[in-house]
A and B are shown apart, each in its own frame.
Chain A
């Protein structure tokens, strides 16, 4: 969808956005280092980079969340100083955050107009607003029911509400932060379609993503950031997936090897007719049955929010099932026989939680204290009995950090100043230190840089080779397909069926993620192959 225009015309029209020498420091860290590039009006512009490359900082400067230390931002050729998000909105900059900023209990329409009602008394103005919103919806193909409450809408639809919210406020520039992380492949295609119609109307779209495929598919131009510096800004048709990855990481990126030994026969996790209802009575998981054997990785795919989190919570003993049973090694869990994280851990289960900063780590602690969280009663750490001998635990932590390549290997450093990848390596190393037979892994590489992804994947495969049973929950389809022996696809808390490794097909899985049963999805694609 790249519209090529004669260069001479482009010279005449100032770019929609121009960053000139933008620099932002956090303490000694240069988050943005003299970043300069321009984005033309009416284009879709991708910004890619690893975690910590400075994408978010740059966009936060544009959206008025941070004040840059040096450099300037120009909108349509005019230098501007954007002091707050409301100032950004007033200048026509809209942002759709990765985590939506919507009020759950209000309706879609109320969410769109909240904050820009105009006057104290709403009076008859609602109907005028409704007309305006409907017009925007029709113009860009962004359908959603105006009077449904947000919490009754699926995430993909909530995202449309967010986009319309920005357009309603007169956004000419729309920033989207990882917008496809909550979408099925089909929904993502629909979103890209919306991008194109927006661009055709002259809106400028900035797409922040780490999925290179999307960049190649939908953007006109792409900027690569690495360690705060702008590496290149170039038309998308001049790059390939491999060249983008190389520019992002700064070196060649290898794919992990694919040597597979057959799984051992014994079943380590057996789940039968599992169901979970949340306190409001809504079924989050229902009728779920599967087995995981030793020496096998079972991948659970699905759009986030389709019951995977609840499944992991039940397996980890954090919540009890409403129905059905779980067998973890020798431990049986039923509604009448609830487990606890203590019992589950004692039966040789390790758990790498989905959200490491909320559930896996204590952010204000040092690496040392975090490195033994969950191990404090395992007896595996020297110096950690009823009394804690800090120097011995520090020694243990340092060894763990070296063994798992956590950099820098300084046990006294606060955990929050480590990169996401290093935090995750510490969490995984810590969990593996329990020498578990069963490993529950949620989103192992969320917010993790490419180099660390590779090392985490190798570790999980090594555990599989060592005969451990691994349940892997991830919204990254590529990751699930790379690592799993079997994939189970969840949709609205139910299993849409399982696929064996030779049946893996992104399109089939995509259909199953959107609610097709396995067999009908395979039939629809045509035999599941090719």
Chain B
């Protein structure tokens, strides 16, 4: 239960921040000589205007949900897991190995094992930084970002020297067997008679939504979650209360790594069907912005993920349709949203919260909880 002013204020602040980012983005579009209203229209049309675009948006959003949940659960322990990208990369390795170990199995048999493999690889990859932060006092930001580089180099070695098909010049593994490819939504729609172009949106989005529910229950409705939040909110009081602080921190970071690892399921079994170089590029960092906008709560992370999914997809249409809007301009636009809606979220939130509080006091509803 949270105070109504906190919740409404947070939502209000998020919208104002996004509005400011969009307005600044408009100025940028104007500066490169295009019509900002038309550009916004292209972005919205690209992201939501067709079933095709929408499914791409939701496909990206699936990855952002995993990345955002990963950041959020570590944040509950007052830890900043910035290495989601490396953990996702390793999660992909786990999924690939599993797929090569289970050729010919139907996807629905392999999926639970793939989820376990992806989470295990992501968790093991972050276990060393987790141990170092809890027992040796190193800083998780530094160690996880360094582990991103380690992951990148390790995967280059593995993909180029181990997984690459003989004679192929492409730095990617062989394709997984077709039976392991996850069911896509265009296939489902085709089965009920709606023909849409093929797009990568697949059943993993359901896994992501289930994860949102599980994380909500784990953090707010279990004893472990209670201890986790105690550690994050006041680790000294948690220690006094007999909570094994270091153990809880390690567990939280490992769960975080596991959630990031699930991006591997979506990308390898759902979309690319092979292990490709840099397939997880950027997801870990965008996950930080997603968690920030989503206030570290799944109910906020889902809309924030869709927002960033739309930016990815709509941005792609923008640079495709407007010749003077290069790929770099799109990256700057995404950066603006991250800056305002993510980085500056704490600047506006207190103001918005107290404004809402004042309105609620006027209405005689101060202190209401929802």
B205-242 CB contacts (< 8 Å) to partner A: 221-227, 229-230, 233-234, 236-242
Q: Does residue B369 face the partner (Cβ distance < 8 Å to A)?
A: yes
Q: How distant is B247 from chain A, measured CB to nearest CB, in Å?
A: 10
B222 A386 Cβ-Cβ under 8 A: yes
A385 B230 Cβ-Cβ under 8 A: no
B242 A388 Cβ-Cβ under 8 A: no
Q: Does residue B244 face the partner (Cβ distance < 8 Å to A)?
A: yes
- Give A349-390 as 1s and 0s: 1 = Cβ < 8 Å from B's Cβ atoms: 001010000111111111001001110110000001111101
Chain B residues with CB under 8 Å of A363's CB are 233-234
A387 B221 Cβ-Cβ under 8 A: yes
Secondary structure class of chain A's binding surface, majority of residues:
loop
Q: Does residue B191 face the partner (Cβ distance < 8 Å to A)?
A: no
Contacting residue for A358 out of B1, B229, B234, B244, CB 8 A: B234
B223 A386 Cβ-Cβ under 8 A: yes
Q: How distant is B33 from chain A, measured CB to nearest CB, in Å?
A: 48
A387 B239 Cβ-Cβ under 8 A: no
A376 B226 Cβ-Cβ under 8 A: yes
A342 B244 Cβ-Cβ under 8 A: yes
Contacting residue for B240 out of A351, A365, A388, CB 8 A: A351
Q: A359-B236, A373-B237 are in contact. Are A345 and B223 (CB under 8 A)?
A: no
Q: Does residue A260 face the partner (Cβ distance < 8 Å to B)?
A: no
A341 B234 Cβ-Cβ under 8 A: no
A358 B236 Cβ-Cβ under 8 A: yes
Residue from A316, A373, A386 having most chain B Cβ neighbours under 10 A:
A373
CA–CA, A386 to B221, complex, Å? 9
Residue from B221, B226, B236, B237 having most chain A Cβ neighbours under 10 A:
B237
- Give A259-276 as 1s and 0s: 1 = Cβ < 8 Å from B's Cβ atoms: 000000000000000000
Secondary structure class of chain B's binding surface, majority of residues:
helix
CA–CA, A390 to B223, complex, Å? 11
Q: How distant is A214 from chain B, measured CB to nearest CB, in Å?
A: 32
Q: How distant is B162 from chain A, measured CB to nearest CB, in Å?
A: 42
CA–CA, A412 to B244, complex, Å? 26
B230 A384 Cβ-Cβ under 8 A: no
Contacting residue for A377 out of B233, B239, B242, CB 8 A: B242
Chain B residues with CB under 8 Å of A369's CB are 226, 229
A387 B240 Cβ-Cβ under 8 A: no
CA–CA, A360 to B244, complex, Å? 16
B239 A318 Cβ-Cβ under 8 A: yes
Chain A residues with CB under 8 Å of B241's CB are 341, 373-374, 376
B222 A341 Cβ-Cβ under 8 A: no
Q: How distant is A423 from chain B, measured CB to nearest CB, in Å?
A: 12
Contacting residue for B226 out of A316, A318, A388, CB 8 A: A388
Interface bin, chain B = 20 to 34
A289-342 CB contacts (< 8 Å) to partner B: 316, 318, 340-342
Question: A316 — nearest CB in chain B belongs to which residue?
Answer: B240
Contacting residue for B237 out of A361, A388, A390, A412, CB 8 A: A361
CA–CA, A359 to B234, complex, Å? 8
Q: How distant is B366 from chain A, measured CB to nearest CB, in Å?
A: 9
Chain A residues with CB under 8 Å of B234's CB are 358, 361-363
Q: How distant is B118 from chain A, measured CB to nearest CB, in Å?
A: 26
B240 A341 Cβ-Cβ under 8 A: yes
B237-261 CB contacts (< 8 Å) to partner A: 237-244
Question: A346 — nearest CB in chain B belongs to which residue?
Answer: B242
Q: A316-B240, A341-B239, A374-B240 are in contact. Are A362 and B230 (CB under 8 A)?
A: yes
Residue from A318, A341, A344 having most chain B Cβ neighbours under 10 A:
A341
Chain A residues with CB under 8 Å of B244's CB are 340, 342
Q: How distant is A396 from chain B, measured CB to nearest CB, in Å?
A: 14
CA–CA, A387 to B225, complex, Å? 9
Q: How distant is A429 from chain B, measured CB to nearest CB, in Å?
A: 15
Q: How distant is A439 from chain B, measured CB to nearest CB, in Å?
A: 14
A376 B240 Cβ-Cβ under 8 A: no
Chain A residues with CB under 8 Å of B223's CB are 376-377, 384-388
CA–CA, A353 to B222, complex, Å? 26
CA–CA, A344 to B242, complex, Å? 8
Question: B357 — nearest CB in chain A belongs to which residue?
Answer: A27
Question: B225 — nearest CB in chain A belongs to which residue?
Answer: A388
Contacting residue for A388 out of B222, B230, B239, B243, CB 8 A: B222
Residue from A360, A362, A376, A386 having most chain B Cβ neighbours under 10 A:
A362
A345 B236 Cβ-Cβ under 8 A: no
* Chain A interface residues (CB < 8 Å from chain B): 316, 318, 340-342, 344-345, 351, 353, 358-366, 369, 372-374, 376-377, 384-388, 390, 412
A-B pairs with lowest CB-CB distance, top 4: A374-B241, A341-B242, A342-B242, A362-B234
Known: A358-B237, A362-B234, A387-B223. 20 other contacts (CB 8 A): A344-B242, A358-B234, A358-B236, A359-B236, A359-B237, A359-B240, A362-B237, A363-B233, A369-B229, A373-B230, A374-B240, A376-B226, A376-B243, A377-B242, A384-B223, A385-B223, A386-B223, A387-B221, A388-B225, A390-B221
- Name 28 A/B residue pairs within 8 A (Cβ), A-sorted: A340-B244, A342-B242, A342-B244, A344-B242, A345-B242, A353-B240, A358-B234, A358-B236, A358-B237, A359-B237, A360-B237, A362-B229, A362-B233, A363-B233, A365-B233, A372-B226, A374-B241, A376-B226, A376-B241, A376-B243, A385-B223, A386-B222, A387-B221, A387-B223, A388-B223, A388-B225, A390-B221, A412-B369
